[in-house]
Amino acid sequence: DTGVSQDPRHKITKRGQNVTFRCDPISEHNRLYWYRQTLGQGPEFLTYFQNEAQLEKSRLLSDRFSAERPKGSFSTLEIQRTEQGDSAMYLCASSSDPHNEQFFGPGTRLTVL
Amino acid sequence: AQSVTQLGSHVSVSEGALVLLRCNYSSSVPPYLFWYVQYPNQGLQLLLKYTTGATLVKGINGFEAEFKKSETSFHLTKPSAHMSDAAEYFCAVSNQAGTALIFGKGTTLSVSS
């Protein structure tokens, strides 16, 4: 078991481009979470899944953001028409049941030029 | 709405000294409380958590925290700091097991020899 993995680790893009990030949770973890962390701030919740169902979305998740977990395993987070304000570290976490801790991945650092 | 306030964005201690990182929360329901640590270029790691039961919670690496409902606090302590404790520490709250974590802005701990 290698923990939660995220790909890519770094992404530089130009404003207006679309980007997609992938998260692979720990095997058999049924809950998967996405957070965003900007410099000097704590992580901010974006959305979470139980299996393939998206159960909660933050108001931070504008209509340019979409997340999927089609088979209840890996998840993707897509940002359309990126803006400079989207520059941040995007963190993924997973857990095996509601009472267990959330295990975090290393994050994907997005820079929008 | 839930919120977390971490008093002091930066705490400096000498090696061997007491570590005290402060966290106050706001929650309309009994909270679940967490402390996470983040080392440079690494993901968040859970130090300890409070869900129910004993209010003094022991975690990894010699850290502990006490849930004080009357003070709405969950301060993190360690009797004797090590150089390896230097990192960023985040307090987080959720109102229900398995849902979104609401993080504070973090406290950077520096340890000098």
Mean pLDDT of B69-94: 96
Predicted pLDDT of residue B14:
97
d(CA A108, CA B106): 19
Q: Which of B41, B101, B104 sits opposite A45 (nearest CB)?
A: B101
Q: Is the pLDDT of residue B96 over 80?
A: no
In this predicted structure, what is the pLDDT of residue A99?
67
Please tell me if residue A36 touches chain B, with a CB cutoff of 8 Å: no
> In angstroms, what CA-CA distances link A65 with A36, A55, A77, A83, B63?
12, 16, 7, 12, 38
The model's confidence at residue A98, banded by pLDDT at 50, 70 and 90, is low
Report the share of chain B in percent with pLDDT over 90: 79
Give me the half-sphere count of Cα atoms (radius 13 Å) on the Cβ side of residue A53.
Answer: 2
Instruction: Note whether A31 contacts B: Cβ–Cβ < 8 A.
Output: yes
pLDDT, position B28: 79
The verdict on A97 touching B (C-beta cutoff 8 Å) is yes
Nearest to B19 by CA among B70, B71, B59: B59
Mutate to test the interface with A, among B3, B32, B44 (most CBs of A within 10 A): B44
